[in-house]
Structure 1
């Protein structure tokens, strides 16, 4: 009977071990970096790991995660929504205008703003699906349209109690205290309402995209629209759903911002587009899925939030934060895609 030398066994096992290590790094790159950041910041600044600070991080990233989830849905169909930042900013102004100028209560304001977001999504879908305008051009045009439109009713001024309207009259309304609870209250005095909304949206979209027929059709449309159409999928309807959902979630993000600041700030939402897109793209690297997914988007938003919060607590100069954020994000994506390419 012939026996295999021990040296031969070790050589045979080495490729398998190496492959397992590559796969582990590829699937867990973002989690490894996130855990490393938490440990590093906790050692450098013990207050970082305080539960209140961790909740503050989640509250800060809730809006980005919610808006990013909408972007993720449009990415799943092979599209891209550049208007989400403008929708969120316009929603902040619309919510404040509805209460302070029109005298709406909290419920009426929320319904109005969500309907506004859905309408913008429907307009995007009409341009893209019916008029065949490329998604980047259509949503970019809508972004510019909304950026200018939100300034017209107040002649470019922010909206707050006592606003002087363009006709010289003074707005008599005020922000409904119940509306402010959306952005400022907490469940059991611990979990902020925006965090609860973020988790609810993430769970609902995870089930929709990963566990339902509609989710499969979303990815099928994005993977090969012609094949999906030939298989009987109404791709026009699926794409419309995606953009309407994206607009609605962007409006929800705007509602949270408005409820947090208590006024309509013309500068609100300036960074929401880039941050939400960054979170969506980082999501490609989570678990090595290499496709848009809602879980990855939320993890991506938390990743960026942890990084910025830690840098702030360490008193890092503000002008270095974007560079450090970019460097760490490049590292996460390189670990995911680079390791995968090496394996291939």
Structure 2
């Protein structure tokens, strides 16, 4: 009987038990994840609590609706910017489109004497047309998006002043030819900016919510939405996969232009005149809201709900500072400091977690 040499068989490898995880590291990772994904919401909750403690009237339902009404236009415009960011573009003309839409709506009713049911589609078509022109310049002429939309911004800023020789539009406007405009704002049009549903919810807030829901479904729950983000991530790969990046970019800029015009309609219906200075700060506020959206839920990409949250965040901050009688010259500094903190929590903690 032959003996078997155990050395001729493979021996099982030595198994070393993994070191137990450090509970402190686990807690830190979990806390970092919570802060990273919810930094904006955490800061928003702290702001609401702090402002309410300092000024109880802040939490009043009428004040909260006032905040939402104030940020509705910025949120609508920011949603349009978000769609262009999704395709890897950027629309600098939204503020000018909104301001031109204010003037166009006013001119249509006061000079052309159109009613609300003709004015609203006309102005929305104007915004969509500007979006088409932007898309043509960017996609067909291959002009960089920043340069194309910056040029459009300057063009519209000057164009809106020509029909009235630089004057604001209101009832009784004297036209450049010396005639007097006989039209006036349609009361039905004014409801868009001034009417409250159920006596509490402004129509502009309802429009903001509808825009957010429609764009959320489009960008997050449909094939078109996935292709929009794919275009922004890798345009060549998206084209090779069979998608028309030309059509996708065109769609994004048309949506942006249309939403900018919708924002202009809300402004015109709220102020009741075509003010040549309207829309001056809309561009930066809308861009800020859309970029803050990157930090919401730690997504680090354009997203519509994040943009809406960013607009509300800024609105709550400014409203609270105003109620506390903070000097106007400190508000931008405080806003910037708080936003830097929110973004630092989102990106800084995420970076540490990846190392």
State the TM-score, normalizing by the size of structure 2: 0.94
Residues of 1 paired with 2:318 and 2:27: CA distance? 36
- Alignment root-mean-square deviation, CA: 0.9
Pair 1:142-2:147 in alignment: no
Which residue of 58, 61, 66 corresponds with 1:48? 58
**Alignment of 1:27 onto 2:40:** no
Count of aligned residue pairs for this structure pair: 337
Return the alpha-carbon distance in structure 2 between the equivalents of residues 198 and 24 of structure 1.
28
- Residues 1:123 and 2:139 aligned together: no
1:100 equivalenced with 2:110 (yes/no): yes
2:220 pairs with 1:210: yes
- Pair 1:329 & 2:322 matched: no
Tell me what 2:325 maps to: 315
Matches of 1:321 and 1:257 in 2, distance apart?
A: 23
Q: For residues 68-110 of structure 1, give each alpha carbon's deviation from its aligned partner in whole angstroms, at most 9, with x where no partner exists.
A: 0000000000000000000000000000000000000001000
TM-superposed CA distance for 1:15, in Å, is 1.8
Shift of 1:13: 2.3
1:161 partnered with 2:175: no
Q: In the alignment, which of 90, 102, 106 is matched to residue 80 of structure 1?
A: 90
Q: 1:17: how far off?
A: 1.7
Partner of 1:187: 197
CA displacement, residues 25-78 of structure 1 (integer Å, 9 cap, x when unaligned): 100100010001001100111100000000000000000000000000000000
The residue correspondences of 1:1-12 to structure 2 (distance < 5 A) are 12=22
Runs of 4+ in 1 over 2 A off after TM superposition: 11-14
Structure 1 distance, partners of 2:22, 2:110, is 73
* 1:228-253 alpha-carbon deviations (Å, 9 max, x no partner): 00111100000000000000000000
Match of 1:237 in 2: 247
Deviation at 1:12, TM superposition (A): 2.6
* Cα distance in 1 between the residues matched to 2:223 and 2:54: 47
User: Is the radius of gyration larger for structure 1 or structure 2?
Assistant: 2
TM-score by length of 1: 0.97
Alignment of 1:215-234 (within 5 A): 215-234=225-244
Tell me how far apart the structure 2 counterparts of residues 103 and 41 of structure 1 sit (CA, whole Å). 46
Structure 2 regions of 5+ residues with no counterpart? 1-16
Alpha-carbon separation, structure 2, partners of 1:96 and 1:113:
10
Structure 2 residue 27 is the aligned partner of structure 1 residue 17: yes
Q: Which runs of 5+ in 1 are unaligned?
A: none
Residue 267 (1) aligns with residue 277 (2): yes
Question: Among residues 186, 192, 198, which one is paired with 1:176 in the alignment?
Answer: 186
Residue 342 of structure 1: CA displacement? 1.0
3-state SS of the aligned residue for 1:32?
helix
